[in-house]
Structure 1
Amino acid sequence: MRIEEAIEGYASFLRLEKGLSENSIVAYTSDMDKLWQFANQELNKQTVETLSQQDLEAFIVSLESNGLNKRSQARTLSGVKGFFRYLMLEDVLVNDPTELLLAPKVGRKLPIVLSTEEIDAIISAIDLSKPEGQRNKAILETLYSCGLRVSELVGLSLSNLHFSEGFIKVVGKGNKERLVPISPRAVKEIEYYYIDRNKLTPDSASKDIVFLNRRGKKLSRVMIFTITKLLAEQAGIKKTISPHTFRHSFATHLVEGGADLRAVQEMLGHESILTTEIYTHLDTTFLRETIMQFHPRA
């Protein structure tokens, strides 16, 4: 089977069988496109049956020579392994050439986390006199209150806001739905934002979307990144900030406050508890204070 044909089949498999979002499918297939280009241009091979373990090892080496870091290499290799498992399921291949491939060793990278003071500083940097000011405040309060992914925030719909019960319904990865508690403070900021939102005329595709741009359309993921980055700079925060930083902060503050890890897993929408366990790291200041208080040699 030609490699490009196999990639098309894999995309359909991810969409129909796995129920992945379009963003995830694009990410997986773009990695496979890199493999196809390497096989075609460097190895002069056009079919998946001709690719060997040595060929795939050479592909991983080429990623490193092109400047891809080890974490990205490991992610790409994980995608390649998934691709060949699909080919095995479809009986395109008898043997899996990725079975013995070793992933690059990647050190554990702790997420960047904001303190509550830093979060307050970023939110305080919002100019509420601007038309988008209250919207942006509601966005940041929702990100931190609910620990949402960016895609979940921009796709949040009015019909999924259940403020009287204190929950919102979120559509996460693979179109999986979950209920997430929302704080009274975030509810208040969203309700204040309704005053500005009601002045807009949403297009037909965005009538049920909570957060809109000035033209009445759904906000893009890029716009949320831009908003958080600019506000962090205005607040004088030197850390590398993204919308996901608010999600990391949400989870870390819950775990440090004593929240059950399974409950945090449920709120974040993680399939595996192993993904959530990264938030069990302790704040270094808290750790030092604990040692200084209780160690006999402190």
Structure 2
Amino acid sequence: MDSYVDEFINYLAVERGLAQNTLESYGRDLRQFQLFLQNDKLDIIKDSNRNTILNYLNNLQSKGRAVSTISRNLAAIKSFYQYLVRERYIDKDPAANLESPKLEKKLPKILSIAEVEELLKQPNSLLPTGLRDKAMLELLYATGIRVSELISLNITDVNLDMGYIKCYGKGAKERIVPLGSIAAKCVQEYIAKGRPKLVRTYDEPALFVNHHGNRLTRQGFWKIIKKYAQEANITKEITPHTLRHSFATHLLENGADLRSVQEMLGHADISTTQIYTHVTKNRLKEVYDKAHPRA
């Protein structure tokens, strides 16, 4: 089984160009499925059928797993078996015609403009790490890029003169995102005064590095934003995508068109971007209910 999974993950990386996070997720989900089958002394190739897969999904549900988790597991299993059929390792796809459970579209948590401003004030610009953190937070809010895209940025991906960054999203798709003047100034200051004190080698390509001089990790950034949220007395739940969600919502609230926001966020399907219109409609309703004398 491990060799089949490894071969499948390698196929996703090389042929499909999926992001590292996605590859790890697929591998983790498939190995959990393998363990479930092994506990029942079942072989994933010989014994898998529609019922064994449904039993696994029901097991996840009985453990209280979220609908999104169950749906993601099924997507991994379906892709895996489709690959096995295509490579002629098996004759029949046991996951064929299995439908994913309906996902509830959760509205993203966002910060108000005042909360964003308070968050952005927190880094100490007298320290190299403070200059870095200020540049990262300003860059995230200015561009709406994903955290994985932020930490993957190389110094050559930033064009401060022209005011844009080049980043690589899901499926290694390249896109150009405009950069506001405030964020550009913070990034420039970090590159000039902060980064030289953090990097250890001249040829380090990463734009944002940790105190060891290596590329900052997603976990490292997560700790940073949580720390500043506490210091800013923000009680809302903060996630690595909070500034991305806030960026999109604030743009739409201020008149940006949906297609432009879709392009900047790097969404392949505009329906993904449309969730932010629900957020703005909800906020309009709140304003109406509070302000209208006959609401």
- What TM-score, normalized by structure 1, do the two folds share? 0.91
The answer as to whether partners of 2:85 and 2:92 remain within 8 angstroms in 1 is yes
Identity %: 37
The unaligned stretches of length 5 or more in structure 1 are none
Matches for 1:205-284 after TM superposition, within 5 Å: 207-283=204-280, 284=282
Alignment pair present for 1:13 and 2:11: yes
Counterpart of 2:5, as a letter, is I
The answer as to whether partners of 1:123 and 1:137 remain within 8 angstroms in 2 is yes
CA distance in 1 between partners of 2:229 and 2:44 (Å): 48
CA distance in 2 between partners of 1:153 and 1:259 (Å): 23
CA distance in 2 between partners of 1:40 and 1:65 (Å): 19
CA distance in 2 between partners of 1:115 and 1:94 (Å): 54
Q: Deviations over 1:5-48 (max 9, x none)?
A: 32122111101110112221111111000111111112x12242
> Does the residue aligned with 2:175 lie in a helix, a strand or coil?
strand
The equivalent of 1:186 in structure 2 is 183
CA distance in 2 between partners of 1:77 and 1:257 (Å): 39
Aligned residues: 293
Deviation at 1:277, TM superposition (A): 1.5
CA distance in 2 between partners of 1:30 and 1:292 (Å): 47
The equivalent of 2:169 in structure 1 is 172
Deviation at 1:181, TM superposition (A): 0.4
The answer as to whether partners of 1:256 and 1:282 remain within 8 angstroms in 2 is no
Q: Deviations over 1:46-67 (max 9, x none)?
A: 2424201000001111212334
Greater CA deviation, 178-187 or 190-199?
Answer: 190-199
Cα gap change, 1:47/1:69 in structure 2, threshold over 3 Å: closer, same or farther?
A: closer
Alignment pair present for 1:148 and 2:161: no
CA distance in 1 between partners of 2:100 and 2:94 (Å): 14
Say what the alpha-carbon RMSD is for the aligned residues.
Answer: 2.0
- What TM-score, normalized by structure 2, do the two folds share? 0.92
The equivalent of 2:93 in structure 1 is 96
The unaligned stretches of length 5 or more in structure 2 are none
CA distance in 1 between partners of 2:126 and 2:175 (Å): 35
Deviation at 1:144, TM superposition (A): 0.5
Alignment pair present for 1:79 and 2:45: no
CA distance in 2 between partners of 1:285 and 1:279 (Å): 11
Counterpart of 1:223, as a letter, is G
Deviation at 1:290, TM superposition (A): 4.1
Counterpart of 2:36, as a letter, is F
Deviation at 1:109, TM superposition (A): 0.5
CA distance in 2 between partners of 1:95 and 1:22 (Å): 29
Q: Deviations over 1:210-245 (max 9, x none)?
A: 111222211111010001011111111111112211
Name segments (4+ residues, structure 1) moved above 6 Å: 291-295
Cα gap change, 1:200/1:227 in structure 2, threshold over 3 Å: closer, same or farther?
A: closer
Deviation at 1:110, TM superposition (A): 0.7
Matches for 1:35-46 after TM superposition, within 5 Å: 35-42=33-40, 44-46=41-43
Alignment pair present for 1:57 and 2:57: no
CA distance in 2 between partners of 1:178 and 1:202 (Å): 30
Counterpart of 2:253, as a letter, is E
Counterpart of 2:122, as a letter, is A
Deviation at 1:261, TM superposition (A): 1.6
CA distance in 2 between partners of 1:76 and 1:86 (Å): 16
